[in-house]
Amino acid sequence: MNQQREDDVSLRLTEVGPRDGLQNERHLLGVGDKVDLIDRLVAAGAREVEIGSFVHPRWVPQMTNTDEVAARIRRKEGVLYWGLIPNMRGLERAMDAGLSHVAVVMSASESHNLKNINRTREQSLKEIREISKIIRSKGMVLRSYISTAFGCPYEGEIDFSVVMELAERLLDLGVEGVSLGDTIGVGNPLLIREGCLRALDHFGVEKVILHLHDTQGLALANALVAVECGIRRLDSSIGGMGGCPYAPGASGNVGSEDVINLLHALGFDAGYDLDRLVQISHWLEESFDIAISSKYYRYAYANACFNASAIHSKAP
Ligand code: ZN
């Protein structure tokens, strides 16, 4: 049993596997399988799940069936089901599908914004302003990603002052939180610490979310320094699935099992059943031939044991 930390209340984890994870997989999962995945994640303890995106099927064919997925998931009380929207058309689809929580995305770098969503950052902000007006009038909730916040495949290093300015403008437009995306996994603990401290100091713990990718194997180290800095909102993907089709070299998100295991080790009760997460990764690997990169998953399997607490109690 993990020690309950006093500041547990504000810990918020968003499972992004059904969106960020699956969008980069070769296999197209059917509606039933995606609904099954989302239900399993919620049963394992997920309280916030990004269920898919409402992008044009030509851009990301893996996300073609998000409307149907949203319509078919069995909503559980207390769980937030998020949908990613690229534009106003996406918002209409998300609303038609009955979602009340939507995420928009823009990039810290102009080049990545142009490649990813085909418009300038100023054009993105203008559209997000219009989207936010509708969201607020309908009593819905909006959050925003700021991609390439710690480095860009086209522009290299990113001046974090640019990220701070964008975050400020997005929060002024009414987004409830900004997810700082290490989209291509080039962040390192020093960069992450500096960025998180600046953002937390300026915007407060409830507004700042961290979104990590594990391209260089530093995602968990980055998660650790972030949590120690005071970050309490993290995105992760079951099994470490994911990447970005418009970010060359980007590999998977930080794995949910690894983040939960880390949080447990730090004394947080994240509200997840780690064994059940491992079972979901196993199901994804066996049923859909999806490569699972979470370290904790490999560990649990190498020990041929799903019971993490039993393993820990035997450790020297
Ligand atoms: Zn991502």
- Residue 316 — pLDDT band, cuts 50, 70, 90? very low
- How many angstroms does the Cα of residue 185 sit away from the middle of ligand 1? 9
- How many angstroms does the Cα of residue 179 sit away from the middle of ligand 1? 10
Q: Residue 211 pairs with which residues in a beta bridge?
A: 181, 235
- Residue 313 — pLDDT band, cuts 50, 70, 90? very low
- How many angstroms does the Cα of residue 93 sit away from the middle of ligand 1? 22
Mean pLDDT estimate for the chain: 91
pLDDT at 3 exceeding the cut of 50: no
Cβ contacts of residue 191 below 8 Å, gap of 6+? 150, 151
- How many angstroms does the Cα of residue 3 sit away from the middle of ligand 1? 30
Given this model, what pLDDT does residue 314 score? Answer: 43
- How many angstroms does the Cα of residue 52 sit away from the middle of ligand 1? 12
Give the pTM. 0.91
The phi, psi pair for 248, rounded to 5°, reads -55, 135
- How many angstroms does the Cα of residue 134 sit away from the middle of ligand 1? 26
| DSSP 8-state code for residue 143 | E
Helix (H, G, I), strand (E, B) or coil at 92: helix
Given this model, what pLDDT does residue 191 score? Answer: 97
Given this model, what pLDDT does residue 45 score? Answer: 97
Is the model more confident about 114 or about 291?
A: 114
Residues surrounding ion ligand 1 at CB below 5 Å? 20
Mark residue 267 as left, alpha or beta (left: phi above 0; alpha: psi -120 to 50; beta: remaining). Answer: left
- Residue 311 — pLDDT band, cuts 50, 70, 90? very low
How many whole angstroms separate alpha carbon 245 and alpha carbon 280?
A: 24
- How many angstroms does the Cα of residue 177 sit away from the middle of ligand 1? 16
pLDDT at 251 exceeding the cut of 90: no
State the residue for tokens 């953002």.
199
Q: What is the pLDDT of residues 115-125, one digit of tens each?
A: 988 999 999 99
Indicate the angle between helix axes 121-137 and 160-172, nearest 10 degrees: 30
Instruction: Tell how far CA 279 is from the center of its chain.
Output: 20
- Residue 144 — pLDDT band, cuts 50, 70, 90? very high
Average pLDDT over residues 131-135: 98
- How many angstroms does the Cα of residue 8 sit away from the middle of ligand 1? 25
For Cα atoms 199, 200, 201, give the angle at the middle one, nearest 5 degrees. 90
Average pLDDT over residues 236-261: 82
- How many angstroms does the Cα of residue 251 sit away from the middle of ligand 1? 9
How many beta carbons lie within 10 A of that of residue 243, not counting itself?
A: 23
Q: What is the pLDDT of residues 8-17, one digit of tens each?
A: 447 999 999 9
- How many angstroms does the Cα of residue 147 sit away from the middle of ligand 1? 8
Ordered domains of the chain (ranges, CATH): 12-272 (3.20.20.70)
* Closest to 220 (Cα-Cα) out of 182, 178, 177, 163: 182
How many whole angstroms separate alpha carbon 196 and alpha carbon 187?
A: 11
Average pLDDT over residues 212-235: 96
Given this model, what pLDDT does residue 61 score? Answer: 87
- Residue 146 — pLDDT band, cuts 50, 70, 90? very high
Q: Which amino acid is at 180?
A: L
Q: What percent of the chain has pLDDT over 90?
A: 80
pLDDT-wise least confident of 57-66, 164-173, 307-316: 307-316
Given this model, what pLDDT does residue 250 score? Answer: 58
Helix (H, G, I), strand (E, B) or coil at 259: helix
pLDDT at 279 exceeding the cut of 90: yes
Using the Cα atoms of residue 287, residue 292, residue 296 and residue 301 in order, give the sign of their dihedral. Answer: positive
Question: Could you list the active site residues?
Answer: 244
Q: What percent of the chain has pLDDT over 70?
A: 91
Given this model, what pLDDT does residue 60 score? Answer: 87
Of these ranges, 58-72, 181-195, 237-251, the one predicted with the greatest mean pLDDT is: 181-195
Average pLDDT over residues 281-285: 94
Given this model, what pLDDT does residue 291 score? Answer: 87
